[in-house]
Amino acid sequence: MLRTPGRVAGVVIIVGFAVMGLIGPWIYPHNLPVNANAIYAGPSLAHPLGTDFEGTDVLALLVTGARYVLLSALIAGLVAVVVGTTIGLVAGYLRGLTDLGLSRFTDFALTVPGIPLLVVLSTVYRFTSPYMMGVVLGLTGWGGLARAVRSQALSLRERPYLEAARGLGLPLRHILWRELLPNIAPYVAMNLLLAVIGSIYAETGLFFLGVLPAQVNNWGVMLNLAVFSAGAIGSPQALTYLLAPLVSILLLTLGIVLLLDAVDEIFNPRLRTL
Amino acid sequence: MHTSVWKKALALAAIAPMLLAACSSGGKTASAASGGIFTTVNEAHPITAGAPMNPFNASGNTFDSYDQVELGYSEYSATNPNATFPALAASWSLGKNGSLTVHLQPKARWSNGAPVTATDVKDSAAIAFTQGTQPSNLASVTILGKKEIRFNTIPGSTNQLFTSQVLATTVVPASVYGKELPSNIWTTITAATYTGSNPTKVAAAKKAQASLTTLGKKIAAFAPSKDVSAGPFVLARLNPGEALLTANPDFWARSRIAPKEVVMRNYTGNQQIWNYLIAGQLDAAPYTAMPTNVLHEILHTAGNKEVKSPAYVAASLAFDEKDYPYGITAVRQALAYVLNRKQITTVGESVSGQPVRYQTGIIDAIAPKWLSHQELSSLNPYNLDPAKAATLLKSAHFTKKGGQWYMPNGKPWSMSIESVSGFSDWIAAGKFMASELSSFGIPTTESIAPDYATYLANLAKGAYPVGFWLTALGPSVADAFDRIWGPNDGFVAVGNKVQHSSAGNWMNTPTSYHLPVIGTVQPGTLTADLTALTGSAAKAAVAKLAAAENAELPVISLWDYVNVQFVNDKHFTDWPIGQAGLLNDPPGVWMMQGYVHAK
């Protein structure tokens, strides 16, 4: 991986954002200072990315808002991968009635529209916690992965090494997690990263559209306020307020895509270049 | 705030009067040169494709002063709230018994060629009862002639707002809406307006009121097959992006109307209106909240002009006092000391807001007209003073530990300020207040409702302990106080009586206050009485109510709005600049008054 600078850049970007999410909220005070005399101030030494509609430092908003975005996206990715992989593996390996039941359940999950569901849920729950946001996004996003993993499991279960495992009388748990899973791990790992990207877009998109209560500081809320309250689309004064979260989302996506490339190469030696 | 939610509220509010004799058709007489397309946005609400062409529907696709017209439009006079621009009513006169006789425009016709008659007005008055928008003491309507009609008051009742309330009636064609009304509608109305104490009749009144409510819902849902307009325009077509209205050849003052067509652009929020304005696409735009940077961009566009006029409305923070701890007066007073109104206005409404100086329930601009210098100077200004706020909270047994305030019940105190999606000024101000309160030790977040209708519905359900609320609606002071101690606080005036109930009551203030010097004040009753008071009696009532608001703070007023509108000189000219009252009405009224000519 180290031979390819692009992939190193991907890792650096992700580590950078992870550090931002981890320690950012500790660098800045819980209540970021406001200054009504410095509304939409331009970039300066004191405010490298300018200020927002209440004179708050945009860099501080960006850094402190990163945790919600990253944490919820990571949780969403993990939930989708764990649920999707488990259901896919069990359905594909066991076949029969179990497969039938789990496949129909998966089909049902695929028909549940995730974003409208979140909008409906937001009327009773306010999603101030990234954990709940991540869980809901994950629980609405595992269907596609389960179908794909099931197909892989159906194919792999006929391989000789799995027939041997069954012949040896190894328990189901061992076969699923020790024999079957490692062979689809690269696919699952890539899906984890793709799910994380999808979740970032979904949550920032929902906050940007204003369909979720803007109670928390995150990049989607920044985008919403920049466009709908600050008029950043038509006014250059508030441009940094708009660009800061936008560029961050693009950079983070770029980092994940580059890392995805590296992960693919790690798990698939044929892709490695000399 | 959206383009003019407050204007809609103003229009719905009954307008106050003092005295009125007669009024005749006014306005400029010059004939308007025939012009092109007049582009604007509907100030009442965005376009909802599929909604009926019905002015009584909350999202109805009719447009006030264009294809929907009233008997008259308020002049928004601070001294005579009954002053009204004629529209379908050419003139009117008050009778000795309080009745109002209205003479319709002799040439008024519907867009289908039929004349506008007293029957149309009578049916429209009946519909007003089903929508709850009728004058509060209207008893019946008598047709005196084809173009002459009399509005009769409940015997013994007094309502200084009667004239303006009658003239605010939206008139619809009896040929379209008449079949929606049962033949015994006026019998039902008579039963519903009974104000005596006979138990049988009281029971019948309740039944009749329920019947009117049910009928009101049916009428609001009614979808006419085509637009029949008595206004200067008729709806030709509508899609989710815009509505097209063409000039009504049967309009009674056709020569005054310059545009051949009106395009009503749709919008989803203020930002879309800003973009239209920055692109120079609107000939006129109603009040729209915006930050200063956007104002500068709009004024850079060729032809755009900013037009300012006074607005009788303020943005306030309202409380549901049944929610602990907001029923404690010291808590509300402490919050008033913590909130920096000047900075909140700078953040939220720098373009069209003035920080409130006096917490009186009426806008600062008219406060000196109602309150003496001595009365004004005796009011608490609630200047920024966090130390005073802390003292007040401690006196109410609140404690502060680790930078966080705890309530007397031992629980940590946190707040949520409710706002509305798309109301950029409320959102920005709410966020700023949340920052201020959090820094003071009350962790506060802002929560944003998806739309104004949902917000109002949730307010009515008592779902929000603290939220934004429009107050000081005028120019009538009775209307202004009605926003605090009116239907939203459970006080409903029926005839000359005021009833207090839990229905619709989400503010839950006490029914009486004991104020130092003044003594006991019953604000709901006094507010209702205000509609019947004039002169020094009215001033005395206003002084008591202002003192009650100042001492008890059922709402904390943040800023008074200034009506900032925009016009563009590219296609049309002769705007009613300097006509403060007229500018508060929609552009169709400007045209009816002879303004807006093609270039």
Instruction: Report how many Cβ contacts below 8 Å link chain A to chain B.
Output: 92
Residues of chain A contacting residue B347, judged by C-beta atoms under 8 Å apart:
34, 36, 39, 53-55
Confidence of residue B99 (pLDDT cuts 50, 70, 90): very high
Which pLDDT score, from 0 to 100, does residue A129 have?
83
Whether residue B267 is contained in a domain is answered as no
Q: Is the pLDDT of residue B341 over 90?
A: yes
Residues of chain A contacting residue B297, judged by C-beta atoms under 8 Å apart:
231, 234-235
CB-CB neighbours of B599 under 10 Å: 13
pLDDT in tens, A223-271: 988 888 888 887 888 899 999 999 999 999 999 988 888 777 777 766 6
The answer to whether the CB atoms of B275 and A233 lie below 8 A apart is: yes
Confidence of residue B100 (pLDDT cuts 50, 70, 90): very high
* B152 CB within 8 Å of a chain A CB: no
The CATH number given to whatever domain includes residue B458 is: 3.10.105.10
Number of domains in chain B: 2
Q: Judging by beta carbons within 10 Å of its beta carbon (0-12, 13-18, 19+), is residue A270 exposed, middle or buried? A: exposed
Q: Which backbone phi and psi does B111 adopt, to 5 degrees?
A: -70, -10
* A225 CB within 8 Å of a chain B CB: yes
B477: CB partners within 8 A, 6+ apart:
B16, B362, B366, B370, B530, B538, B542
What integer is the mean pLDDT of A159-170?
A: 88
Contact B224, B235 (CB under 8 A): no
B389 lies in the same domain as B484: yes
B355 lies in the same domain as B425: yes
Domain extent, residue B323, equals 311-561
Confidence of residue B160 (pLDDT cuts 50, 70, 90): confident
Domain ranges of chain A: 7-21+57-273
Q: How many helices (H) and strands (E) does chain B have?
A: 20, 28
Quote the CA–CA distance of A258 and A250 in Å, as a whole number.
Answer: 12
B196 lies in the same domain as B318: no
What integer is the mean pLDDT of A53-59?
A: 92
B25 lies in the same domain as B137: yes
What integer is the mean pLDDT of B447-463?
A: 86
Q: Is the pLDDT of residue A126 over 80?
A: no
Smallest Cα distance from A206 to chain B, Å: 12
Which pLDDT score, from 0 to 100, does residue A221 have?
87
Smallest Cα distance from A28 to chain B, Å: 14
* A120 CB within 8 Å of a chain B CB: no
What integer is the mean pLDDT of B276-292?
A: 92
B580 lies in the same domain as B540: no
Which pLDDT score, from 0 to 100, does residue B434 have?
93
- Tell me whether strands B555-568 and B284-285 are parallel, antiparallel or unpaired: antiparallel
* A4 CB within 8 Å of a chain B CB: no
Instruction: Give Cα separations from B529 to B482, B533, B540 (angstroms).
Output: 11, 7, 12
B534 lies in the same domain as B574: no
DSSP B419-460: EETT-HHHHHHHHHHHHHHHHHT--EEEEEESSHHHHHHHHH
The answer to whether the CB atoms of B432 and A126 lie below 8 A apart is: no
Confidence of residue B34 (pLDDT cuts 50, 70, 90): low
B547 lies in the same domain as B582: no
Tell me the whole-structure pTM to 2 decimals. Answer: 0.77
* B427 CB within 8 Å of a chain A CB: yes
Contact A168, A110 (CB under 8 A): no
Smallest Cα distance from A142 to chain B, Å: 28
Whether residue B278 is contained in a domain is answered as no
B514 lies in the same domain as B583: no
* B438 CB within 8 Å of a chain A CB: yes
Residue B516: cis peptide before it, omega within 30 degrees of 0: no
User: What's the whole-number average pLDDT of chain B?
Assistant: 90
The answer to whether the CB atoms of B347 and A228 lie below 8 A apart is: no
Residues of chain B contacting residue A235, judged by C-beta atoms under 8 Å apart:
293-294, 296-297
Whether residue B357 is contained in a domain is answered as yes
Which pLDDT score, from 0 to 100, does residue A269 have?
66
**Lowest-pLDDT range of A113-127, A180-194, B176-190, B415-429:** A113-127
Quote the CA–CA distance of A86 and B80 in Å, as a whole number.
Answer: 75
Whether residue B294 is contained in a domain is answered as no
- For chain A, percent of residues with pLDDT exceeding 90: 38
pLDDT in tens, A199-220: 999 889 888 887 666 666 789 9
Whether residue B33 is contained in a domain is answered as yes
Residues of chain A contacting residue B446, judged by C-beta atoms under 8 Å apart:
214-215
Nearest-5° angle of CA A66, CA A67, CA A72? Answer: 110
What integer is the mean pLDDT of B68-78?
A: 92
Rg for chain A (alpha carbons), in Å? 22
Q: Is the pLDDT of residue A113 over 90?
A: no
Confidence of residue B14 (pLDDT cuts 50, 70, 90): very low
Which pLDDT score, from 0 to 100, does residue B372 have?
95
Residues of chain B contacting residue A64, judged by C-beta atoms under 8 Å apart:
none
Residues of chain B contacting residue A220, judged by C-beta atoms under 8 Å apart:
none
Quote the CA–CA distance of B550 and B367 in Å, as a whole number.
Answer: 13
Smallest Cα distance from B444 to chain A, Å: 9
Closest residue, chain A, to B288 (C-alpha): A229
Quote the CA–CA distance of B150 and B101 in Å, as a whole number.
Answer: 4
For an interface test with B, give the residue of A30, A31, A216 to mutate (most B CBs within 10 A): A31
What integer is the mean pLDDT of B91-113?
A: 95
The answer to whether the CB atoms of B347 and A233 lie below 8 A apart is: no
Confidence of residue B76 (pLDDT cuts 50, 70, 90): confident
**Lowest-pLDDT range of A20-29, B96-105, B297-306:** A20-29
Smallest Cα distance from B448 to chain A, Å: 5
Whether residue B73 is contained in a domain is answered as yes
B584 lies in the same domain as B514: no
Contact residues, B window 451-510, toward A, CB-based 8 Å cutoff? none
For an interface test with A, give the residue of B1, B2, B268, B271 to mutate (most A CBs within 10 A): B271
**B488 secondary structure, DSSP code:** G
> Could you say which of A32, A37, A215 has the minimum Cβ distance to residue B446?
A215
Q: Is the pLDDT of residue B275 over 50?
A: yes
The answer to whether the CB atoms of A230 and B296 lie below 8 A apart is: no
Residues of chain A contacting residue B270, judged by C-beta atoms under 8 Å apart:
228
Which pLDDT score, from 0 to 100, does residue B449 have?
83
Which pLDDT score, from 0 to 100, does residue B200 have?
94
The answer to whether the CB atoms of A31 and B435 lie below 8 A apart is: yes
Confidence of residue B12 (pLDDT cuts 50, 70, 90): very low
The answer to whether the CB atoms of A54 and B438 lie below 8 A apart is: no
User: What's the whole-number average pLDDT of chain A?
Assistant: 87
**Lowest-pLDDT range of A37-41, B339-343, B531-535, B549-553:** B531-535
Which pLDDT score, from 0 to 100, does residue B7 have?
53
Smallest Cα distance from A127 to chain B, Å: 11
The answer to whether the CB atoms of A231 and B448 lie below 8 A apart is: no
ipTM score of complex: 0.73
pLDDT in tens, B475-502: 889 899 999 999 899 988 766 678 888 8
Q: Is the pLDDT of residue A130 over 90?
A: no
* A126 CB within 8 Å of a chain B CB: yes
The CATH number given to whatever domain includes residue B176 is: 3.90.76.10
B524 lies in the same domain as B573: no
Is the C-alpha dihedral spanning B218, B223, B228, B232 positive or negative? Answer: positive
B484 lies in the same domain as B586: no
* B347 CB within 8 Å of a chain A CB: yes
Confidence of residue B33 (pLDDT cuts 50, 70, 90): very low
What integer is the mean pLDDT of B221-245?
A: 96
Contact residues, B window 260-299, toward A, CB-based 8 Å cutoff? 269-271, 274-275, 278, 290-294, 296-297
Dihedral (C-alpha) A257, A263, A269, A271: value to the nearest 10 degrees? 0
Quote the CA–CA distance of B403 and B326 in Å, as a whole number.
Answer: 20
B495 lies in the same domain as B456: yes
* A125 CB within 8 Å of a chain B CB: no
- Tell me whether strands B89-94 and B22-23 are parallel, antiparallel or unpaired: antiparallel
* A264 CB within 8 Å of a chain B CB: no
* A102 CB within 8 Å of a chain B CB: no
Whether residue B304 is contained in a domain is answered as no
Whether residue B318 is contained in a domain is answered as yes
Closest residue, chain B, to A53 (C-alpha): B347
Q: Is the pLDDT of residue B24 over 50?
A: no
The answer to whether the CB atoms of A34 and B432 lie below 8 A apart is: yes
* B402 CB within 8 Å of a chain A CB: no
> Could you say which of B274, B296, B448 has the minimum Cβ distance to residue A214?
B448
Which pLDDT score, from 0 to 100, does residue A230 have?
84
> Could you say which of A55, A229, A235 has the minimum Cβ distance to residue B427?
A229
What tokens appear for A41 in the block?
Answer: 């101030």
For an interface test with B, give the residue of A235, A239, A242 to mutate (most B CBs within 10 A): A235
Arch. (CATH architecture) of A7-21+57-273: Orthogonal Bundle (1.10)
Residues of chain A contacting residue B291, judged by C-beta atoms under 8 Å apart:
39-40, 53, 229-231, 238
Smallest Cα distance from A83 to chain B, Å: 32
* A93 CB within 8 Å of a chain B CB: no
B206: CB partners within 8 A, 6+ apart:
none
Smallest Cα distance from A234 to chain B, Å: 7
- For chain B, percent of residues with pLDDT exceeding 90: 72
